[in-house]
Amino acid sequence: FEEYFNTKTKNIIDTIVYSLSDKSTRRFIWAEICFLHLWWKQADSEMRERLRRLVVETKQLELVTGGWVMTDEANTYYTAMIEQMIEGHDWIRANVDEWTQPSHGWSIDPFGYSPTMAYLLKRMNFRGMVIQRVHYHLKSYLNSERSFEFIWRQSWSTALNENSDIFCHVMPYDHYDVVREK
């Protein structure tokens, strides 16, 4: 984890801060707070303030999901999902801005999705979510129907209880490539 941060992630975050600061039309999103935490510990006060400005003032850097990590949704108990979200959101409030709260979920690389995560995001007042890694048959079907966006309703929801519905966008890529008509 720390080696990956030192060889890859630290440079990415440094580049984000410099690039966004240099050009106001640029935008970027960041999801995993554990890496931002390591960067923050090593950054000087000027870099921290630049990042804070990009999130709070110019809104060029959007923190999405804001969990400590991108949770594994396939085999995780819901309390673990909640705890890592609390840890990430607490870190954001303590270090970046006490009023900053992510409003969109970003879950592009877990091995399986859970209706629990969609439900939890909605209950945390998220407005929508983006997912990526779905079975290729489903992605092909969504592509043919031009339905990469939908309202995710939990199977336990009823017409009278729609507070678990959340807007969902499936990225139209096959992992890191575009979907091609077959």
Cβ-proximal residues to 115 (8 Å cutoff; 6+ apart), any chain = 152, 154, 155
Active site residue 22: no
Residue whose C-alpha is closest to residue 31's, from 89, 98, 95: 89
Write the DSSP string, 36-94: HHHHHHHS-HHHHHHHHHHHHTS--EEE-S--SS----SS--HHHHHHHHHHHHHHHHH
7, two tokens: 């060889």
> Which pair of structure tokens corresponds to residue 17?
């801060």
- 129: phi then psi, degrees, rounded to nearest 5: -150, 155
Q: Which of 14, 90, 109, 174 is catalytic?
A: 109
Yes or no: say if 66 and 107 are a contact pair by the CB < 8 Å rule: no
Catalytic residues: 109
